[in-house]
């Protein structure tokens, strides 16, 4: 490099270092004004509410509520399937989360399951075993085997309680389909017309009897549409057939109201003094005149 240029550069650097520079500081008043402006800006902003576990409502938070109820639904379905497979021994919360592959559930959701979700669920039964809280599925009917189910059907038939819904039996009875196959014709299946669900009844074979076809045709040929019990009873009496009495609900007789009217009777007072009392009206009139 040219030595002349190096000398010029060195002189320039010396002049620059020799020249004094003064830093311009902000005045105290301008610093106070900046603080006041910042205070106004922060005061104009709305204060955000402090988040606390007590005031938190999981129903308002859509994302968290969907996650929580998804965890709960998975647990209830798992417990139902265990009961249907005849695994009726209870489990604690850690075992349930392990079996449902939900070990990554946080402490907050786990606390919600233990304190609110599982105790308030109608299909979960809480059992205290060796000082530990465990959980078990709670079906509609407590049925251990097909014998208990058949006894329940017989009891409903005996007391006139009607049939049992197939969905409830499938939920309550372990290995339900196998039990229904073994029971065979001991059960009657009736399809409900409004929702097409099947109702189970006990098939009491001792009550079965054969009816002549002529009676069956006569029974099906009689039309009773639009006829009440009184008209049917009158028709049977005209045909010389005595009908059963005291069948149905009798209407209570309407009490007729008494008509208001006539003379009102007033009670007389002091009748025992009728001969003793005197009228002094005339004596007063003569005295004044």
175 against 269, higher pLDDT: 175
| pLDDT class of 137 with cuts at 50, 70, 90 | very high
pTM, 2 dp: 0.50
Q: Is the pLDDT of residue 139 over 60?
A: yes
The three-class DSSP label of residue 189 is strand
**Mean pLDDT value of segment 2-18:** 79
DSSP-derived pairing of the beta strands 132-137 and 164-165: unpaired
The count of other CB atoms within 10 Å of the CB of residue 135 is 22
The three-class DSSP label of residue 85 is coil
CA angle 179, 76, 74 (to 5 degrees): 120
Q: Is the pLDDT of residue 225 over 50?
A: yes
Q: For residue 274, what pLDDT is reported?
A: 65
Which residues make beta-bridge pairs with 189?
Answer: 200
| pLDDT class of 162 with cuts at 50, 70, 90 | confident
Token code pair at residue 60: 């308002």
Tell me the percentage of the chain whose pLDDT exceeds 70: 68
Q: Is the pLDDT of residue 111 over 80?
A: yes
18 against 201, higher pLDDT: 201
The CATH number of the domain covering residues in 62-137: 1.10.10.10
Q: Is the pLDDT of residue 92 over 70?
A: yes
Token code pair at residue 40: 């106004």
Q: For residue 251, what pLDDT is reported?
A: 55
254 against 160, higher pLDDT: 160
- Mean model confidence pLDDT for the chain: 77
Q: By the 8 A CB rule, do 183 and 156 touch?
A: no
**Mean pLDDT value of segment 246-250:** 49
Q: Is the pLDDT of residue 106 over 80?
A: yes
Q: Is the pLDDT of residue 222 over 80?
A: no
Q: By the 8 A CB rule, do 237 and 243 touch?
A: yes
- Give phi and psi for 261, each to the nearest 5: 160, 180
**Mean pLDDT value of segment 106-126:** 90
| pLDDT class of 54 with cuts at 50, 70, 90 | very low
275 against 215, higher pLDDT: 215
DSSP state letters, 204-220: -GGG-----HHHHHHHH
Q: Is the pLDDT of residue 184 over 80?
A: yes
Q: For residue 96, what pLDDT is reported?
A: 92
């Amino acid at each position: 490099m040219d030595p002349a240029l190096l000398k010029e550069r060195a002189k320039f650097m010396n002049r620059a270092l020799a020249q004094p520079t003064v830093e311009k500081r902000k005045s105290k008043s301008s610093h106070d004004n900046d603080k006041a402006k910042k205070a106004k800006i922060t005061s104009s902003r709305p204060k955000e509410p402090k988040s606390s576990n007590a005031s938190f409502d999981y129903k308002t938070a859509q994302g968290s509520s969907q996650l929580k109820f998804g965890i709960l639904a998975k647990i209830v379905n798992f417990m139902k399937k265990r009961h249907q497979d005849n695994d009726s021994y209870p489990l604690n919360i850690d075992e349930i989360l392990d079996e449902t592959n939900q070990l990554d559930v946080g402490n907050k959701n786990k606390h919600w399951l233990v304190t609110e979700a599982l105790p308030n669920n109608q299909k979960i039964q809480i059992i205290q075993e060796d000082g530990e809280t465990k959980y078990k599925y709670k079906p509609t009917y407590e049925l251990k085997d097909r014998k208990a189910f058949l006894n329940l059907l017989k009891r409903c038939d005996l007391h006139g309680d009607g049939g049992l819904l197939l969905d409830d039996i499938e939920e309550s009875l372990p290995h339900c389909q196998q039990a229904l196959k073994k029971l065979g014709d001991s059960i009657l299946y009736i399809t409900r017309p409004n929702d097409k669900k099947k109702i189970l009844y006990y098939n009491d074979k001792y009550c079965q009897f054969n009816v002549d076809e002529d009676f069956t045709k006569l029974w099906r040929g009689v039309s009773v549409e639009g006829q009440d019990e009184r008209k049917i009873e009158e028709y049977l009496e005209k045909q010389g057939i005595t009908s059963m009495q005291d069948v149905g609900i009798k209407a209570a007789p309407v009490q007729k109201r008494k008509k208001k009217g006539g003379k009102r009777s007033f009670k007389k007072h002091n009748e025992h003094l009728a001969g003793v009392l005197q009228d002094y009206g005339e004596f007063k009139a003569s005295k004044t005149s």
